[in-house]
Amino acid sequence: MKITTLDLERWKENSISILYKVNPEVNNLDYLKETKLEIIREDSNGMFYGWANFLDNKIRVYESNPSRYFPSAIREVWNQSGMDHELIGHIFGNYQYGEGLEDYTRKIQIEIAKFRGKDNNLWNLASFILPFLFKLKN
């Protein structure tokens, strides 16, 4: 499966939507809505997803990542979780709180997976698996 611009836009909208649900007091998300998305036209070669750039308010995502080996439902969770990580953890964390470094971002990614997991078993499973994946990446 190759990631498309439509995929990125869908995941971005889902991330913004879940942020409102997780933290209803959040305001001024125009900054996130304006975040530019770009596809890196190559395989991630072991990277999980992509990159966030605070200064340019841009997220760059590899066209192909390890999710290509998964069934479609798990692939969707993997890539949505990646967008949550980049957009909410890095971009929003830096913009709103001056945070956005990897430890903070991983914590936020797990919290969002737990929140999504209240109604979805795959997301619940993801919330347990993410800490182990992060250890592999270190």
56-104 pLDDT, tens digit each: 999 999 999 988 999 999 999 999 999 999 999 999 999 888 877 888 9
Provide the domain limits for residue 99: 5-137
| Number of independent structural domains in the chain | 1
Whole-number Å distance between alpha carbons of 73 and 64: 16
Chain-centre distance for alpha carbon 52: 10
Q: pLDDT digit string (tens) for 7-50?
A: 999 999 999 999 989 988 887 788 999 999 999 999 888 778 89
Whole-number Å distance between alpha carbons of 127 and 107: 10
Query: Which range is least confidently modeled, 48-52, 53-57, 109-113, 134-138?
Result: 134-138
Task: State pTM to two decimals.
Answer: 0.93
Q: What is the CATH number of the domain that holds 37?
A: 3.30.2010
Instruction: Please compute, for residue 127, the number of CA atoms within 13 A of its CA located in the half-sphere on the CB side.
Output: 16
Two tokens at 66?
A: 């390890």
128 DSSP assignment: H
